Amino acid sequence: MQKSNNFFFSKILYKSIYNIQNSIIGKLNDVILDFNASKPMIKAIEVKIGGRLSYISADFLEVYNDGEEKYSVKMNTSSINVMPYPENEFFLAKDFLDKQIVDINGRKVERVNDVRVGIIQGKWCVVAVDIGLRGLLRRLGFEYSAIRISHIIKKEFRNTLVYWDNVQPLSTGIPNLQLSTSMNKLTTLHAADIADIIEELDKQSQITLFHVLDNAKAAEVLEEMETESQLNIIDTLPDEKASDILEIMPSDEAADILEEIEDTRVEKLLEQMQTENSSEIRELMEYDEKTVGSVMTKDFISFLPDITVEKALAYIKTNQHPKEFSHNIYLANNNNKLIGVVTLFDIIVSEADNKLYDLMNANFKRAQDEDKIENVMEIMQKYNLHEIPVVDENNDLVGIVSLNDILNEYIRLRRIPA
């Protein structure tokens, strides 16, 4: 037998454990992981002795194999350190095998079929997760049968490993367990990827994952989710957190979500928002869902036409703007009547003392807030417009709408039974 410095966990699970005199102590029933290191470290072993479970330190754990994938486990010490019953600890077999994880690199949810363990700085650590069929068959005892079949049909039968640096563990059901790096790995992904991942999870894991996102990231992710998932998440949030997240979102997106929530809670959520934000959302919620007003956003920039390029740029540079910042600047008079549009590019390349009305285009397309979504979509497609300003019946500038929002809403409405 030769000493191993790495192995698949299924190879030693339920194997006999020998002491330094080569007498059997018991069977390895599970191991306890410590997540305080960069990779989860085995800190203790659950040993089954008859019908009783005991817990011993993993400091002197050694693993041997015969060169043909048969493994044995040994505690190479004359004084085995027996530990008290572990409270709120993370067990590898019980709490991790068959559970869901996120493959950060692949941007998808996977199932843990086995775990690769190796020695790092003298400690046994989890180095990779096997998410493939071979890992599952290995645990079930059919790995070698599958290998023989693969040789016959001349098809490669490989392990499918996700290295720990790309693994994001999810909920464990263990109170107060702080997994390594919390959810830091996950939050490096694009909001749309996180939304897709959340929607693949079971309900409890969805809740756990979403609740650890900060409000800004949570707002981005919620915006990317399907309506049913949005409502499931909002339903689990306290009113204060839900209102904070909705307030960060574009007002039209927040209004769409609130339209699907019962009125009594809608009022509670709106009352906790700043008056300006809640007023915008209330206004959008008054529109029929088939009209442009229901999907327009009030996050846009408008100026008086006699302002100079220098002052316009100074304002743009020193003020916060929505994530999806428009490349069009709208011009309205003192009575908020829409009179023209100028592109951000035109402003940037113009002389500082130029007036915006000298740069504006007065011949442009606009939509009215009560126009049907499908009609405006046809206009935008015909003239290749990425966005269009929205006015009310008095030609007051009340919002803008993007082609992306129009298309998404059109598709959503088509899915709803008449």
What are 258-307's pLDDT values in tens digits? 999 999 999 999 999 998 889 999 999 999 989 999 999 888 899 999 99
Q: What phi and psi, each to the nearest 5 degrees, are found at residue 128?
A: -160, 160
- What residue spans in the chain does CATH classification 3.10.580.10 cover? 302-415
pLDDT tens for residues 326-381?
789 999 999 999 999 999 999 999 999 999 999 999 999 999 999 999 999 999 99
Rounded CA separation 395/339 (Å) = 9
Does the structure show a pLDDT above 50 at 229? yes
Which residues of the chain form CATH 2.30.30.240? 2-88
What tokens does 287 get? 């529109």
Whole-number CA gyration radius for the chain: 30
The answer on pLDDT for 176 being more than 60 is no
If one compares 386 and 145, the residue with the highest pLDDT of the two is 386
d(CA 23, CA 25): 6
What pLDDT was estimated at residue 293? 93
Q: What is the pLDDT of residue 356?
A: 96
Distances (CA, A) of 125 to 100, 104, 128: 19, 20, 9
Domain 213-286 indexed as CATH 1.25.60.10: yes
Looking at residue 318, its pLDDT comes to 87
Strands (E), 205-258: none
Range(s) of the chain covered by CATH 1.25.60.10: 213-286
CA distance 379 to 386: 11
Return the number of other C-beta atoms located less than 10 Å from residue 217's C-beta.
19
Cα 191 to Cα 205, 225, 294, distances in angstroms: 17, 9, 24
For residue 175, pLDDT beyond 60? no
Residue 177 scores a pLDDT above 60: no
**What is the per-residue pLDDT across 246-272, written as a single tens digit (0 to 9) for each?**
999 988 889 989 999 999 999 999 999
pLDDT exceeds 60 at position 174:
no
- For the domain spanning 2-88, the CATH number is 2.30.30.240
- 3-state SS class at 365: coil
CA atoms within 13 A on the CB side of 60: 14
Of 11, 39, 273, nearest to 179 by C-alpha is 39
pTM: 0.70
User: Could you give the angle at the alpha carbon of 9 between the alpha carbons of 8 and 14, nearest 5°?
Assistant: 130
Task: Work out the pLDDT band at 171, boundaries 50, 70, 90.
Answer: low
The SS3 call for residue 241 is helix
Q: Return the structure tokens found at 268.
A: 């509670």
Q: Which CATH class is domain 302-415?
A: alpha beta
Averaged over 53-66, what is the pLDDT? Answer: 92
Q: Which residue has the higher pLDDT, 92 or 104?
A: 92
> The tokens of 99 are what?
């559970």
Highest mean pLDDT among 77-86, 139-148, 399-408: 399-408
The C-alpha atoms of residue 22 and residue 29 are separated, in whole angstroms, by: 19
Angle of helix 227-236 versus helix 215-224 axis, rounded to 10: 150
The answer to whether residues 301 and 399 touch, using CB atoms and an 8 Å cutoff, is no
Pairing of β 71-75 and β 367-368? unpaired
